[in-house]
Chains A and B, each alone.
Chain A
Amino acid sequence: MNTKLWNWRLWVGFGVSVLGLLIYVLLLQRTRSIFWGSLALFLVSVALMISGLKRAFGQPQAYRGKVAGPVLAVLGVVVLGVFGWGAYMAAKLFPAALHAPQVGQQAPEFVTVDSKGNSVALAQLLTTSITDSSGVARTPKGVLLVFYRGYW
């Protein structure tokens, strides 16, 4: 009969690393902050697994995991490797905007459609007077273009 305690840190640690990868893969397209969330989960996973391994090898009479521990640790490293490779590929596929217009340059003109279906050009936006919440119209001082990825 085996009276040794279940070394849950190893298994939970491995589970957390898989969770980190899943969250990263499934939600990557939503926001970049997901990357940091996944990275945090990996750090938690590494800490749990190290502590699990210490238990398995430091107190082998009390805890199980001398066989499972190294196997899970290797698998964990593989999961982390897939995550790192994915993040590297993502950085390659979505490069920083090298040719984006710079400060001091003329903003490229464009025409878009507003949520009511009307055409809106940048030139129009720049001359639109701004009515604040109290109903006071102000001379425009500028337009803040906020590009976002969208919801699709």
Chain B
Amino acid sequence: MRGIQRTLSSLEGLGILPVAISADTPEESREHLIQKANLSYPILSDGKAEAIRHYDLLLPGAGENGRDIGGTAEFLVDPSGTIRWRSLNENGPEKFLEAARSVQ
């Protein structure tokens, strides 16, 4: 998450908008990511894990008090809505940038 913040200006320069998605509530995102970690890109809340389910990333009951949460993954989607790159493992920011350059 902080890795994306560090490469935010490069990503923006390439015309790529990063957004973070989790089942956290908007309040949790505000507290942990925007206030504490100073992230300035959109942090989206998928409270009912609908997006997480569509992308098959649901970890049922793995959260606090058995909450359903999502796993870690990245997808690069072009303006036509086609997935151009994906990663189901944790990757460093250099991988995002490489993928972002490939859609230019």
Contact A152 B69 (CB under 8 A): yes
Residues of chain B within 8 A of A140, CB atoms compared: 15-17, 79
Report the interface size for chain B: residues with CB under 8 A from the other chain. Answer: 66
* Contact with B55, one of A93, A97, A142, A143 (Cβ below 8 angstroms): A97
Which of A101, A109, A127, A131: most chain B CB closer than 10 A? A101
Q: In A84-113, which residues have CB < 8 Å from any B CB?
A: 93-94, 96-113
Q: A93-B62, A106-B82, A146-B1 in contact; A100/B55 too (CB < 8 A)?
A: yes
Q: Is A142 within 8 A of B78, CB to CB?
A: yes
**Cα of A98 to Cα of B58 in the assembled complex, Å:** 11
| Most B C-beta atoms less than 10 A away, residue of A33, A111, A147 | A147
Residues of B with C-beta under 8 A to A144: 4, 11, 16-19, 74-77, 96, 99-100
Q: How far is the CB of B101 from chain A (nearest CB, A)?
A: 10
Q: How far does the Cβ of B40 sit from chain A's closest Cβ, in whole Å?
A: 10
Most buried by B among A96, A103, A104, A149: A149
If A93-B62, A100-B86, A116-B26 touch, does A149 touch B71 (CB 8 Å cutoff)? yes
On chain B, the residues within 8 Å of A149 by CB distance are 22, 59, 62-63, 69-72
**Do residues B15 and A130 form an inter-chain contact, with CB atoms below 8 A?**
yes
Interface of B is mostly: mixed
Q: Mark B47-84, 1 if CB is under 8 A from A, else 0.
A: 10011101111010011100101111111111101111
For the A-B complex, the count of residue pairs with Cβ-Cβ distances under 8 Å equals 215
* Docked complex: A101-139 residues within 8 A CB-CB of B: 101-117, 120, 122-123, 125-128, 130-133, 138-139
Secondary structure type dominating chain A contacts: loop
Q: A102's contact among B9, B42, B86, by CB below 8 Å, is which?
A: B86
A141 touches B14 (CB 8 A): yes
- B69 lies within 8 A of A150 (CB): yes
Q: A74: shortest Cβ distance to chain B, in Å?
A: 33
Give the residues in chain A near B20, CB-CB below 8 Å.
Answer: 146-148
Binding site for B on A (CB under 8 A): 29, 32-33, 93-94, 96-117, 120, 122-123, 125-128, 130-133, 138-152
Show 18 A/B contacts (Cβ-Cβ < 8 Å), sorted by A: A94-B71, A101-B83, A105-B83, A114-B44, A115-B26, A115-B30, A130-B17, A138-B13, A141-B14, A141-B16, A141-B104, A144-B4, A144-B17, A145-B19, A145-B77, A146-B18, A147-B20, A149-B71
